[in-house]
Structure 1
Amino acid sequence: MSDISPAPAQPAEPATGPHVVYYNSACPVCDAGVCAMRARIAEGDVEWVDVHRNPERLAPLGLDLEDVRERLHLVDPSGHLQVGAPALLTTWSLQSRWSWLLKPLNWPGLRTLTSWAYIAFARELYRWNRRQGHW
């Protein structure tokens, strides 16, 4: 699955419901990031699913636990799955504080660099977590 994806097409009907973010609380870096975002995003805008405590929530989506441990996953209200940098940018977009940063990060060249940087960082963080036994 590629982390570099175009912006999702607009649905024919307005979507309802929250974004669903799948994250791993066993990773101290991921948990701290999600805690910070949770404090800045309205409660009804996101459903936060901790895959460390609720791995059964992945089965209906066909997601692999190790994939979600390595990269942030998000399902938007239209049902589109986003993985990695797109998921992180969408989650950040729900925080008005970060909206100024998102526009340039979505420019074609920077979007690609952002995705590559995310992939590299996530891979190393995943390896570090495994070495530390954060499972």
Structure 2
Amino acid sequence: MAFTVWYNTRCPVCNAGISRQQRRLIEAVKAGTIAFRDINLEPEALTAHGATLDDIRRRLHATDDAGRLVVGADVAIETWRRTPGEGWLARLFGNRLALPLTRFAYDRFADLLYAWNRRKGHW
């Protein structure tokens, strides 16, 4: 099973960020070890995990190789870990000392981006 990232393609910021990662992870995508999916095309994809469409539009969500749900900054960290040349970002922001601050900062940014997307009608 691949690490599958669910995101909102209608959010210009999210879409640009994920498009960049997809280009950097092209070999992993081809090999099937990571996948990027548009939640707008499959809005009920993560309901079994208790995640709503709005939850996924607010924060990145993923399922890991074992099928477990991963949310928010942890998705970014795992994606960086798998991206050639970006493992240092995973180590910097995902270490046990930085992780609480990373999660806090990610959540605040995600809240602001979600509010902006709602105002702009990016649904």
The normalised TM-score by structure 2 is 0.90
Counterparts of 2:60 and 2:50, CA distance in 1: 15
Q: Secondary structure at the match of 1:116?
A: helix
Instruction: Name the structure 1 match of 2:2.
Output: 18
Deviation at 1:35, TM superposition (A): 0.5
Q: Secondary structure at the match of 1:52?
A: coil
Deviation at 1:23, TM superposition (A): 0.5
* Correspondence list, 1:85-104, <5 A: 85-104=73-92
RMSD: 1.2
The percentage of aligned residue pairs carrying the same residue is 40
1:30 aligns with 2:18: no
* Correspondence list, 1:51-130, <5 A: 51-130=39-118
Equivalent pairs counted in the alignment come to 119
Structure 1, unpaired ranges of 5+:
1-16
Deviations 1:10-38 (A, max 9, x none): xxxxxxx2111110101000000110111
Deviation at 1:108, TM superposition (A): 2.1
Deviation at 1:53, TM superposition (A): 2.1
Relative contact order: is structure 1 or structure 2 higher (C-alpha 8 Å, sep ≥ 6)? 1
Bigger Rg over Cα: 1
Counterparts of 2:48 and 2:103, CA distance in 1: 26
Deviations 1:85-116 (A, max 9, x none): 01111111110210122212222221111111
